[in-house]
């Protein structure tokens, strides 16, 4: 299946993602990321704060997921997902249409979508794939 992106320049990158990427893309991409980086991508990391003495303190209230957005592994997972899902147009769009800073924003938005549309749904037991459910819950305490 090939989806064309409307060349309307008034679309934001987020609108392009919302209009052009099917829901099944996100679990597939999460699976590719997991195959490269391991199940640790499904586990939140604490933000680091510092006290008056300069000692690091884990701040779990502002925890986050690290999907390694600015790495070669991220691009490798994105390319593999797009190839397997017949969505090479997405890689072409990212490379041919976006300056490096817009590509970074695009990747950040894509990361947010993976977290929202796959990881958070899995934690709410909305996942239909027991394999991913096992991977996500494997290190919970």
139, two tokens = 């290190």
Residue 11 pLDDT greater than 80, yes or no: no
Domain count, the chain: 1
Is residue 1 included in any domain, yes or no? Answer: no
Is residue 63 included in any domain, yes or no? Answer: yes
d(CA 29, CA 76): 10
Residue 67 pLDDT greater than 90, yes or no: no
pLDDT tens profile 82-126: 999 999 999 998 888 888 888 888 888 898 888 887 777 655 544
Residue 21: give the domain boundaries: 13-137
Which residue has 């604490």 as its token pair?
A: 46
pLDDT tens profile 28-39: 998 899 889 888
Is residue 5 included in any domain, yes or no? Answer: no
């Amino acid at each position: 299946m090939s989806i064309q992106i409307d060349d309307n320049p008034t679309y934001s990158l987020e609108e392009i993602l919302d209009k052009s990427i099917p829901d099944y893309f996100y679990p597939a991409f999460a699976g590719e990321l997991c195959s490269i980086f391991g199940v640790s991508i499904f586990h939140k990391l604490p933000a680091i704060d510092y006290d008056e003495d300069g000692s690091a303190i884990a701040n779990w209230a502002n925890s986050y997921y690290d999907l390694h957005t600015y790495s070669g592994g991220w691009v490798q997972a994105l390319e593999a997902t797009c190839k397997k899902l017949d969505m090479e147009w997405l890689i072409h769009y990212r490379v041919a249409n976006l300056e490096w800073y817009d590509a970074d924003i695009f990747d950040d938005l894509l990361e947010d979508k993976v977290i929202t549309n796959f990881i958070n749904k899995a934690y709410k037991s909305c996942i239909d794939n027991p394999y991913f459910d096992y991977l996500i819950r494997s290190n919970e305490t």
